[in-house]
Each structure stands twice: as structure tokens, then as C-alpha cells.
Structure 1
Amino acid sequence: MPQLIALAFWFAATWLIWRDTRSREGISSALWIPTLWAAILLSRSLSAWLGVGGGAGGVDSQEGSPLDRLFYFASILASIALLIRRRLNWGALLSSNWPLFLVYGYFLVSVVWADSPVVSFKRWFKDIGNVFVALVILTESNPLQAVRAVFVRSAYVLIPLSEIFLRYFPYLGRRYSNHSGGLEPIGVTMQKNSLGALVVVAGLVLVWDWLERATDGRQRMQLPERLWRAGVLLVGVRLLYLCDSKTSILCFVIGLVILLSIRMPGLRSRVSKMGVYSLGAVVVAFMLDQAFGLSEFVVAAMGRDMTFTGRTEVWAVLLGLRTDPLFGTGFYSFWSDEYYLAQLPDWVAFSAHNGYLETYLDGGLFGVLLLSLMLVVLAWRTNRQLGAAGNFALFRFTVLVVTLIANFSESHFFRMSPLAFLLFVSTLDATTHPGRVLRSAGTVLRERAGSMAASPVRRPSGLTEGRPSG
């Protein structure tokens, strides 16, 4: 019976993905490179899927499986080759995204003082591969459709497959927790927090794509597709409940509220002020927390205490190790440095469970300063485009808010994380040809408005919008 269910699932998922490929215009077959990349980030490594590694010639404790290294290296090289073929304007790319490449440049220099410079450099190269693969998506003829296609196809497969693993193949879908010792649901991922991240990233893009297609008469979904999507979202909600990842639940709810807000007439007309409202909400929340202990009330309502499941204890231990306060230990070097590992208690896992603290460990205060600069620039650009760059600007805002929140209790910044990849996909400014920056959604709409003023051509659908630029 389980085998028949799995077989029926694969037939259904394959058919729906086939229909999805036929329904989207302006997408090349090269998009399967970032689709596979995203699917791996959203689930588990290629070696884990194939059940290889371990033993002689298997997984290296510092560099991972040879098969995984080959996959990442080949994907990055293929992406770079595609970008060269598409005549990407590298100079304009660096100019448009200078805060991001400033951080990556600093982390590249930091490998010099890492415990193992060679290993640190390899990790840096793999991480910046997220940027190159994201650019493959953004240099498609229709980047907006390409972004949605990558994550929708991943959601079609990975979320239902997680439920199948949990129900019918528990040896694949569950594992014993290192924290509690009990069984925890992991689905197609490697741990429960990753399962929550899968639902947040794939689920939010699925909702966004559904909202976009619902307003386009040319791309309205047939009943089987609508039923499958509804089922995937319901399964995703169930997975969030089972994995009990409070951060993921909070991020999914907040992201959903922001995405649905544009459907409300009263809020749609004020979407350009979303950034101002958000800043005001943060200030009010801070004042309420100082006056009435709001954060403690919220955390208690979510079934947690103020240690955030022991995270504050981990943070205190890591800060007490006295790493270099200015420059850190080098990119992704702390967790392989025997000097620091020898000082850690056994109960500290190989993660700071905080993206901001992880950046401090890697690059010190200087790294945190550059990260803060990057986030401020992204927030400023996103706020400037709200209301003028179509629905994509609101999605970009959603991803930024979710990323900022998620990094308070998990490490996503400059890690091989699906949320980090989605952040790059939604915020990078790309170039396609020398001297021409990939047009943003707002630019496309303004150009069309001008052309309609000159001729009575009917305005095309918003689904042909591009990606907002800075």
C-alpha cells in the first residue's frame, strides 16, 4: 500500500509540474538548474537522498560528501557559464548590489585568518554560489515567472512527500532529537526546524503565485491544480503544527498576512506606506515591551519560555568564548576550530541559532556592521518601490521581514539556507546585457503606461512584470 501511494504521488506531481511548465511563458530549460538547487536546499543533501557517504571515502567532517561537493561545484560552474552566455553585465551587477558584494568581499578576506583557510574558502565559494544560481533565475526572459516556477515546483513535490514520509516511511520522515531524545518529524529534511523552513519558503511562494494567477485570465488554474495547491497548503499547515517550530509558524503567519493584505481594498491603496507602518509597529512593540513585558507574554502564548528553548544559554556560552571582537574567526570557521570547540559544552549544537550572532562569530563587529548596512539598503530600496513596482515589491518586502525575524532564532544569513537563497532571488538587481539593467516591475509598468498613452494597445497582465531593481 505505501508503495502504491508513493507511485500515485509521483505520477500526480509529474503531471502537475508538466502542466506548470506549459503554462508559463518566458522560461528556458536552464531553469532546472536553480530548481534542483532550491529543492536540495529545501530538503536534504544529494548524498542523503541517494544514501551514499560514510566510511572510507565518504563524508568528511569539514568538507562534506564528495558527491555533494561535485553537485554544488558543477551547478555553480554551469550557472556562471549561462550568465556569461547571456552577456551578464558584471560591472553593473557589482554596482547595483554593492552592499551584498561588500559583505562577500570582506568574508573572502576573512578566510586568511580562519583556522583552515582552504576549507573556509571552499565554504565561501559554495555560499556565493547562491548568488550565481539566483542570477540564472533573474536573467530569464520573464524573471517574475521564473522565480515563482522554481519554488512552486519544489512545493508541489517536497511538502506532500514530507507527509508521505511521515505516514508511510517513518524511518525516512522521523529521527531521534539530539535535544529531547524523542522522535521528531523531519519529512524530507534533516531536522524539524528545516521542515518548518521548507513550509515557510515554499508555502509563501505558492500563495503568492496563486494570488497572481487568480488575477490573470490567461493563467487561471484548472480544478485539479487548485485542489492540489489547496491540499499542499493544508499539508504544510499540518507539518508546521507537527514540527512545532514556533519561529517558522510565526514567520508563516506574518508572511501570509502581508501577502493577503494587498487583496484588501483599504490596505491596497496604502501599500506604499507599508514600510512606515512596519517601522511604527516595531517602535510601538518596543515601547510596550519595556512598559508591560510584551515579549514575555507573546513567548509564553506560543508555549515557550524566555530562554527560547535554551537558545539564550547557547548565546551566552558563545559570547563568553571571547573570539576576536572586531574581525571574528573567519568565514564559517568557528564550528571547525578545535580551539573553540574544546571549550564548548556537549549540549551546544553546531549552530548559534541566531543569524546575527553567527555573523559576529564569522566576521566580528565589522561583519555585523556590513550586514546591517546591507539590510538597511535593502529595506530602503524595498520601501521606495512599494506601491510602484507591482505585487513583486510586496513579496520582496514579505521575504525581507520574514528573514529578519527568522534570524533571531535560526542562522540563515550567509548559510546554505533556503531562506537565504529566497532573499537573494527576491532582492538581487541583475543585468542581462551590457549597459542595460534588468528592468524592475515598476519600470515595466511605467514604460507600459507611457506606451498606452501613445497608442490604444491593451495593457498586458501583471504576470509579465520583471523584478524590482534598486
Structure 2
Amino acid sequence: MSTLLAIAICSIGVAGLFYLNRNKAARTSKGLWIPIIWLIIVGSRPVTMWFGIRAISSDTLQSTLEGSSTDAAIYGLLLAFGIVILLRRRKKVRPYLKLMGPLIIYSLYCLISVTWAPYSGPAFKRWTKDVGDVVMALVIATDDDPIAALQQLFSRIGFILLPFSIVMIRYTDSGRAFDPEGGPMNTGVTLNKNSLGLIVFLISLGTVWSLRTLLGKRDEPNRRGRLVAQTSLLAFGIVLLWMAHSSTSIFCFVLGSGLILATGMRSVRTRPARVHLLCLGILLFGGLVLLLGGMGSVAGALGRQSTLSGRTSIWAAVIPAASNPIFGEGFDSFWTSPAADAFHHNLLNWYHAEQINEAHNGYIEVYLNLGWIGVILIATVLITGYRRAVASFRMNPSAAGLMLAFVVSGAFYSITEAGFRTMTPMWIFVLIAIVCSTGISAGLWGRKSSKRAASRVYAMANDAETNAISTNAFSAGGGVGHSDFASANHR
């Protein structure tokens, strides 16, 4: 089959999925397309690469610092649209900002750290993109119907990225590449197998939640068509996880799906203490594996080497290279600092060690850029997100299960990948989970519908009062008596 024919057939199939997944009852805003477009770009490739304006890879320091002005303009435009949306929703946004103290403090410290970065200008540009990630999370959380907004977020991104990833892997050369060791890897719409595994794991996790929600509500509009669309999307995700061979993403998908299904059980979701016990059990299991030296066995079961595909060697070489353990090298600046040269020197017997630009551990990555202060702040952000996700079970158990799954799987994902970096899908979805769980636990979700319900009750009370006055007046005129009128209403 030719490439053009495969793309045409895929396009028709994607249009069919959008049609099957239609939900006329959803009242999401058009502004939801801004975070969707943002995540489609972040979860695939920069726009300039799609149009051949920029090469697939460029390893020079100058290109890393400057980036693409076209891509920067696109991100800046999306960020501006997002800020405009939030300004129009400022009454909704203000309560969130009051409750997002740990995240705001972390962001402000990142901004301050720009001042001691080796290249302050590029570091500040990257910080503005990090602010963009938070803006996109707020746009989703403050939508008129945030539950439907989340469902459409997963569906629209998934319908576009996942089917076309399979087409690119099967029918094009741009969907396949070689890893640093020279082995073949499937990349799909992304740039490497780990990026493909990450976006597929995140979208598939959201799809599991959407499917479970649909199965639990038999009165949902167009339920049958949406079930077909969501099941197809989950099937695409499972196939792509297998094709990507990203062990971390597979593990986190299984972990997150298990949490969604387990917390969906009535015996768990109605008892927050049991949610804590479930998460504590997961944490203790992971800790025992590390303490008892079982990392090699687990890695082997996941298809990795006992050194986690060389990650332990990277960690051993990069931690001593940090020149400022307390404050770090500056926001997202370690790999453009002289300390990175010391790391490359420490990493002996590696082929093209100078091409390594991440620590493959989110916590170590934060330590390198922001020091121990940054590690403490990011830990505070995660703990706050976890606590609010658990607290959300009292308000909306279904959505709370999804938020908890993102926070916990994000914490585990960052053990072997840099999950907290700017413009990384994992970090964005962790932010979405933290911001949304903040809104749920504080009772900010559903406030509009509550006001509508209150107004309806008030209107009904007024109608009842008016009817009573009319009845009394009619009775005084010799018409139907009060008892007869009540009797007629009863019948």
C-alpha cells in the first residue's frame, strides 16, 4: 500500500472516530482547543520539523540555546490565547490561584534561578513555556464542563496522534529511527521511542478512565458510538505501547490503570483511608525492590538490562558533576553549563556521551538545575497534589481516581525518565491533575451547575407561592374548595 493511500484511509478512519465520539450534551468551550493544540505539538514534533524547516536533530550548543523562532512564535501565540481565556474567566481563576501556593512558589523559584543560569536569556524563554504549561492546565480546569473537557482532551489528541503513529511506523521512514546504540526503534509521530511510549501511555490512561465512566453511566448520550470510539482508541494505545518497547511507559500505564480501576470500587472510593493504604502499598513494594536488590530482576522483567539501559551509569556520573548542590545551575540550564562538560568527562567508555542531554531521572534533573531547594519544592508540589487528589474522592470519586493515577504514575515515571522538564507531556498532565484536584477538593467544580439548580429551586418556590395565592383567591370567590383543589392535585 502506498503512503498516500495509507494516510487517506487513516484520515477517513479518524473522521469516523470523531463522528462516533460526538456528544451533543457536552458544553465545552472553544477555548479547549488551545491546550489540545499545545499538547499535540508537545506530544509529537515541533511544527518546523513537520514542514521540514528544521532538521530532526541538531546537537550544537548554539541551536540548543536559540531554538526555532517560528516554533517560539507559535508557542507564544498559544500562550497569549490561553492568558486571554483566563482573563475572561478571572472570577473562576482567582480561587485556584489562592490555593496553588506550592506550585506558584516553585515557579517563582524557577524564575529567580534564571538570574544565575549561564545563559539567562534562553533560560527565561524556557521558563515562559513552563508558565504556558500551567496556563493550559488552568484553561482545562476552568472550563464550563471540566469532566467533558478532559474526555474531549484525551479523545481529540488520541484520535489524531495514535492512528497516524501506526501509519508512519508501517508506511513511512520518518516513523522509524535508530537509537544511540544503533538498534532500530519505532518513533511514530514523535522523535524517539520513549517519547512515543509516554504520550501513548498518558492518552491510553485517560481512555481507560473515559471507558470506565461510560460503562458506569447507561444514560449517557450516544453511549454505544462513544464506547466503540473509545475502545478503538484504547486498542491503538495498547498496540503502540507494544511497538514502542518503552518499559517505563508500559509499567506506568499498568500502574495508573490499576489505580483507576481499584479506586473505582465502592469499597475503596468511599474510604479515603483505603486509598492511602493502596498507594502506601505501591510505595512500599517499590522501596523493597530497591532495598533488597531486586532492581535487576524487575528491569529484566520489563525488558531492560540490570543497569536500566545504562541509566545507573549516567546517575553515578552526573550527580558528582553538579557544581552547586544547594541552588543548582539555573532553571533548565545544567546541560548548557560547564558542569555538563564535567559529566561527559566522567562518563567513560560511552559512544557519543556528549549527546546525552538529560539525567533520565526527574528528581536528579531537578537537583542539577535547581539544587536541593528545587527538589524540596517539587516534592512539596507532588505531596500537595496527592493529598488533594485523595481529598477529591469525597466530591467526585471518578475524576479523583484519574487525578491520583496521573500524580502517582508521574512520580514513578520520573524515577527513570526526566518527567518534570518543561514542555514534557508527563509534567503537563501532572500539572493538570494537581490543578483539577485542587478545584474538585475545594468544591470549585460544579459551582455553575449548583447556582443553576438553586435558581430553579427559587423559581419553583415562587411558582408554588403564586399558585397558592391564586387558589385562595379562587376559593374566596366560591369556586373549588381548598381540600378539593389539593385532592385534584394529588390525583
> TM-score, normalising length from structure 1?
0.86
The answer to whether residue 71 in structure 2 is matched with residue 64 in structure 1 is no
1:73-222 alignment to 2 at 5 Å? 73-88=76-91, 91-169=94-172, 171-178=173-180, 180-221=181-222
Shift of 1:139: 1.7
Q: How far apart are 1:225 and its partner, in Å?
A: 4.5
Of 395-404 and 274-283, the range deviating more from structure 2: 274-283
Would the aligned equivalents of 1:358 and 1:411 in 2 still touch at CA under 8 Å?
yes
- Residue 374 of structure 1: aligned partner: 381
Following the alignment from structure 1 to structure 2, what is the Cα–Cα distance between the partners of residues 214 and 267? 18
Residue 425 of structure 2 corresponds to 418
- Report SS of the residue matched to 1:439: coil
Deviates more, 1:255-264 or 1:239-248: 255-264
The answer (yes or no) to whether the contact 1:139–1:438 under 8 Å persists in 2 is: no
The code of the aligned residue for 1:439 comes to L
Q: Aligned residue pairs: how many?
A: 447
Secondary structure, aligned partner of 2:303: coil
Q: CA deviation at 1:366?
A: 0.7
Q: Percent identity?
A: 30
| Residue aligned with 2:64, SS | coil
CA displacement 1:257-283 (0-9 Å, x = unmatched): 112224545545546521222114423
State the partner residue of 1:467: none
Query: Any stretches of 5+ residues in structure 2 without a counterpart?
Result: 346-351, 461-491
Change (3 A) 1:368 1:67: same
Cα deviation, residue 215, structure 1: 2.7
Distance verdict in 2 for CA 1:222–1:49, change over 3 Å: farther
Deviations 1:289-320 (A, max 9, x none): 54x43433322322323321101111111112
Residue number among 366, 372, 381 corresponding to 1:365 in the alignment: 372
One-letter amino acid matched to 2:131: I
5 Å-filtered alignment, 1:16-31, equals: 16-18=17-19, 20=21, 22-31=23-32
SS in 2 for 1:172: coil
Does the 8 Å CA contact 1:114/1:330 hold for their aligned counterparts?
yes
Distance in structure 2 (CA, Å) of the matches to 1:186 and 1:254:
23
Matched with 2:463 is: none
Provide the aligned C-alpha RMSD in A: 3.2
Show the counterpart of 2:14.
13
| Amino acid in the other structure paired with 2:63 | D
* Partners of 2:289 and 2:329 in 1: CA distance: 37
Structure 1 99/220 Cα, relative in aligned 2: closer, same or farther at 3 Å?
A: same
Which has the higher Rg, Structure 1 or Structure 2? 2
CA distance in 2, matches of 1:272, 1:145: 28
Q: Distance in 1 between matches of 2:238 and 2:436?
A: 32
Q: Is the 8 A contact 1:389 1:440 kept in 2?
A: no
| Contact 1:43-1:190 at 8 Å conserved across structures | yes
Post-superposition CA distance 1:35-93 (Å, at most 9, x none)? 111111211111122221259xx993313212210111000011101111222466533
Q: Quick one: which of 439, 442, 449 aligns to 2:444? A: 439
SS at the partner of 1:187?
Answer: coil
Give the drift of 1:251. 0.3
* Deviations 1:123-175 (CA, angstroms, capped at 9, x unpaired): 00011101112211222110111122112111112111111111111x11101
Q: Secondary structure at the match of 1:428?
A: helix
- Tell me the residue number matched to 1:245: 246
Map of 2:303 onto structure 1: 303
Query: In 2, distance between residues paired with 1:51 and 1:236?
Result: 27
Give the AA of the match of 2:38: W
Cα pair distance change 1:74/1:261, threshold 3 Å? same
C-alpha spacing 1:446/1:404, structure 2 compared with 1 (3 Å): farther
Amino acid aligned to 2:14? A
**Alpha-carbon displacement from aligned partner over 1:411-437 (angstroms, at most 9, x marks no partner):** 1214211121111122215999xxxx7
1:347 and 2:348 are equivalent in the alignment: no
Amino acid at match of 2:418: S
By relative contact order (CA 8 Å, sep 6+), the higher-ranking structure is: 1
Which stretch shows the higher mean deviation, 349-358 or 302-311?
302-311
The 3-state SS of whatever aligns with 1:61 is helix
Q: Name the CA distance, whole Å, in 1 between partners of 2:170 and 2:374.
A: 44
CA distance in 1, matches of 2:410, 2:236: 23
Q: In the TM superposition, what whole-angstrom CA distance separates every residue of 1:371-430 from its partner, at most 9, and x where no partner exists? A: 111112222222222344220011110001110010001112142111211111222159
3-state DSSP of counterpart to 2:90: coil
> TM-score normalised to the size of structure 2?
0.83
- 8 A contact 2:49–2:55 mirrored in 1: no
Matched with 2:257 is: 256
Whole-angstrom distance in 2 between the partners of 1:318 and 1:427: 30
In 2, Cα distance between the equivalents of 1:431 and 1:404? 18
Partners of 2:395 and 2:426 lie apart in 1 by 25
Q: Do 2:392 and 2:437's aligned partners in 1 also have CA atoms closer than 8 Å? A: no
